[in-house]
Amino acid sequence: MKKTVVILLVLILFVGVTPVAAAQNVRVGDEINIFYQTPTIFQEGEPFHIEHGWLWRFGFDYMLGIGLHNFELDVDGNPIDNDFVEHAVVKGDPNFGDYLGFSWVYNFPDGMAAGIHTFTGHWSCPCKAAVEYGYFKGPCAKPDEIFEFTKSLTVTFMP
């Protein structure tokens, strides 16, 4: 009797469990790019995404700070959570080799309401890397201290 109950429970478990589809990490709509400051006018209610991150050339010292690089986004002064982070190997020039890329993606499937909205990106990395990238003149008092720089883009969403 116990064996029959166990077998029935196992069968119920297998029949009752449905496979869960993997979440799709897909960017929606066109891109708004804070770094390159485009576009400054967009249609209200149209889906879009914001994607920013970092590329590292394989074999360079500042790759050691990969876990210390980050990107965060504020919309109209309010921080928001990313939808997903992409990881990719990007083919580089034969003279410089390939790159490892991390991109933080923020989807806006419903777009934004008409009006003026400000998007502020917060890039952070070790000070030594910020000097190498040209984002900070230096010198660094502490090479591994986190350096942050921001850039904002104001976009008018048209009705």
Its pTM stands at 0.79
For 138-156, the pLDDT digits (tens) are 889 998 899 999 999 999 9
pLDDT for residue 129:
85
Retrieve residue 20's tokens: 């869960």
Domains assigned to the chain: 23-158 (2.60.40)
pLDDT for residue 59:
67
In which band, very low, low, confident or very high, does the pLDDT at 17 lie, cut at 50, 70 and 90? Answer: very low
Retrieve residue 148's tokens: 């942050």
d(CA 141, CA 132): 15
In which band, very low, low, confident or very high, does the pLDDT at 112 lie, cut at 50, 70 and 90? Answer: very high
For 28-84, the pLDDT digits (tens) are 999 999 999 999 999 999 999 999 998 887 766 556 677 889 999 999 999 999 999
Sign of the alpha-carbon torsion through 33, 34, 35, 36:
positive
CA angle 78, 84, 85 (to 5 degrees): 105
Match 């804070």 to its residue by tokens: 34
